[in-house]
Amino acid sequence: MQRQYIFTKNGFYPENTGEETEDEESAEFLYDIGNIESPSKLTVSGYFLYLVSDAFFKELTRLPELEIARDKIKVAPTQECIERLLNATPYAIGTEFIDEKWIRNRFSELETIFQGQIRNYKGSVAMYLAERNQSLHVPERIFLHLVESKNDDAPFAFIATYASRQSDGSVQHMSLQYALTEYRDDREKLLTLLSSLNRAAEVSPLIAELMESEEMFHTLKFTVDDAYSFLKDIEKIEETGILCRIPNRWRKKNSMLSVNVKLGEEKPSMVGFDALVSLQPSLEVDGVRLTQSEIEQLLRQTEGLAFLKGKWIEVNHEKLRKLLEEMEDIPESLSFRDAVQLEMGNDKILPDVGIVVSNGAWMSRMLLNLREPNRIRSVAVPKTLKATLRPYQKSGYSWLNYMNRLGFGACLADDMGLGKTIQVLTYLEKLRKTDKDAKEELPFLTITTYAMAAKIEPLKEKEWDCLILDEAQAIKNPTTKQTREIKK
């Protein structure tokens, strides 16, 4: 369970093996890891693989045609699913390879495994899934759709459909009214199909009304109030096994009113972990900023749905006032240390009231440079350097300078013999040439050992411009005396 995984362009492999496993073997592992009982015990890289596998099975069990399509089923991640997984990408070796294509390829591998296993399985898909994980359930075959229309009096359209297997083996979604014809000679199958609607009627007054009037079997025009009633009940309806198809933005975290905080829009006046990074809060709907007059307009409107910024949004006065109050409590800035924690998912930094944090211009550019060092602007090599740097050494040298400007430490991890020393010496020479207080005749570089550094008191009293630790594994254990002495 504590094994780390290295990601590659074509998949992943266990860290301690030192070599990639066969594609089939890693795909089988990925297929199985989504059904373990204690994912919290996994390493960060292992947990990400669990999330990928878990996402596949969630998408699989959202397909109403699953039971009748069986090994012909196609499972593709939604854009929302892809974004969620990309946002969950951990800090691990090889994660630069994880992109939309990588995720789609893993889903394709998992789909192939499922198709192969269910093809040879004698029981139902529901039984197969239950044997793997008791929390996996085959959905009902019925969909409820809500779409926007251009009719001012009834700006929404509603229709119920069901999955039907055709003579050629394909699956089509038919209007629910056709079920009355398809199953006119098999009342038991019709009642089984409609049983999920009866369960939905128990949790949704709107569905109960449509079932009572038999309007459920027709395409309907919905008023704003009808649509709002349906949207409020969606979560409870889907718990009964019926899937609701609505515009994707209604399911997104920022689809309704939310506070968006731009993190680090402007460059800090100083650098380092204590630097102050700007916070710029705004009230937005679906990513579009609201003006003060638009906010006041929402407060005057009755609760329900309102058409604003070209979109239908939910008007909830209590939530709106709470968001406005929390906006006032958001500080103007954070320390860079807290900003990094916020970037890594620490949601305790800001109040939890639907706040969406996005990176501003400076923060986005800085993080992109850290993830892709080749984007960092090249720094001229000092003319006093009596050596020629190779291209990758120039990149390492420029990166050291960039990290210094940010006030960060850095770790050069080139393999032995590739010139880490010359990169560091070039960097030190650049510091020497730009230090106005540096004197040519004064020693600029002090070299000692880990053992001597702990014993020579004057070394601890001096404030050093730069501390270079060769063979840094010597201080990898934070509890040893040697590590504590060096960090003083």
Model pLDDT for residues 75-96, shown as the tens digit of each residue? 999 888 998 899 888 878 888 8
The most confident of the ranges 19-33, 96-110, 243-257, 274-288 is: 96-110
Residues 282 and 393 placed together within one structural domain of the fold = no
At residue 254 the predicted structure's pLDDT band, cuts being 50, 70 and 90, is very low
Residues 116 and 150 placed together within one structural domain of the fold = no
Looking at the domain assignment, is residue 28 inside a domain?
Answer: yes
The tokens describing 75, both together, are 């499972």
At residue 165 the predicted structure's pLDDT band, cuts being 50, 70 and 90, is low
Report the pLDDT value the prediction gives residue 118, as an integer from 0 to 100: 92
Across the chain, mean pLDDT equals 81
At residue 12 the predicted structure's pLDDT band, cuts being 50, 70 and 90, is very high
Last-in-domain residue among 346, 370, 394: 370
The pLDDT tens digits for 414-429 are 777 788 888 988 888 8
Whole-model pTM: value is: 0.52
Report the pLDDT value the prediction gives residue 251, as an integer from 0 to 100: 66
Instruction: Give, in order, the Cα–Cα distances in Å from 389 to each of 232, 420, 464, 471.
Output: 64, 11, 26, 22
Nearest to 31 by CA among 110, 98, 106: 110
Report the pLDDT value the prediction gives residue 116, as an integer from 0 to 100: 93
Report the pLDDT value the prediction gives residue 285, as an integer from 0 to 100: 72
Greatest Cα-to-Cα distance within the chain, rounded to the nearest angstrom? 103
Residues 377 and 366 placed together within one structural domain of the fold = no
Looking at the domain assignment, is residue 319 inside a domain?
Answer: yes
Of the two residues 485 and 50, the one the predictor is more confident about is: 50
Percent of residues, the chain, with pLDDT higher than 70: 87
Of the two residues 92 and 97, the one the predictor is more confident about is: 97
Percent of residues, the chain, with pLDDT higher than 90: 16
Task: Please check the confidence at residue 123 and state whether its pLDDT lies above 70.
Answer: yes
Residues 100 and 25 placed together within one structural domain of the fold = yes
Interatomic CA distance for residues 80 and 151, integer angstroms? 29
Residues 25 and 87 placed together within one structural domain of the fold = yes
Of the two residues 15 and 346, the one the predictor is more confident about is: 15
Looking at the domain assignment, is residue 54 inside a domain?
Answer: yes
The pLDDT tens digits for 364-386 are 888 888 777 878 888 888 888 88
Looking at the domain assignment, is residue 137 inside a domain?
Answer: no
Report the pLDDT value the prediction gives residue 7, as an integer from 0 to 100: 93
Task: Please check the confidence at residue 166 and state whether its pLDDT lies above 60.
Answer: yes
Residues spanned by the domain of 36: 5-132
Cβ(66)–Cβ(138) under 8 Å?
Answer: yes
Query: What CATH number did the domain enclosing 420 receive?
Result: 3.40.50.10810
Residues 121 and 214 placed together within one structural domain of the fold = no
Q: How many structural domains compose the chain? A: 4
Residues 275 and 216 placed together within one structural domain of the fold = no
Helix (H) / strand (E) containing 127: helix 125-132
The pLDDT tens digits for 337-363 are 777 776 665 555 555 555 677 788 888
Instruction: Give, in order, the Cα–Cα distances in Å from 113 to each of 209, 264, 446.
Output: 43, 44, 60
Residues 246 and 261 placed together within one structural domain of the fold = no
Residues 190 and 261 placed together within one structural domain of the fold = no
Alpha helical stretches, state H, 301-419: 317-329, 336-343, 361-371, 391-406
Residues 306 and 420 placed together within one structural domain of the fold = no
Query: Where in 193-286 does DSSP place strands (E)?
Result: 220-222, 243-245, 257-263, 276-285
Last-in-domain residue among 85, 106, 132: 132
Residues 232 and 288 placed together within one structural domain of the fold = no
Report the pLDDT value the prediction gives residue 456, as an integer from 0 to 100: 83
Residues 120 and 19 placed together within one structural domain of the fold = yes
At residue 441 the predicted structure's pLDDT band, cuts being 50, 70 and 90, is very low
Residue 161: other Cβ atoms inside 10 A: 20
Q: Mean of the pLDDT values across residues 129-144?
A: 76
Task: Please check the confidence at residue 442 and state whether its pLDDT lies above 50.
Answer: no
Last-in-domain residue among 319, 354, 370: 370
At residue 34 the predicted structure's pLDDT band, cuts being 50, 70 and 90, is confident
Of the two residues 427 and 259, the one the predictor is more confident about is: 427
Place of tokens 């990400």: 48
Interatomic CA distance for residues 121 and 385, integer angstroms? 70
Looking at the domain assignment, is residue 352 inside a domain?
Answer: yes
Interatomic CA distance for residues 154 and 146, integer angstroms? 12
Looking at the domain assignment, is residue 234 inside a domain?
Answer: yes
Task: Please check the confidence at residue 19 and state whether its pLDDT lies above 60.
Answer: no
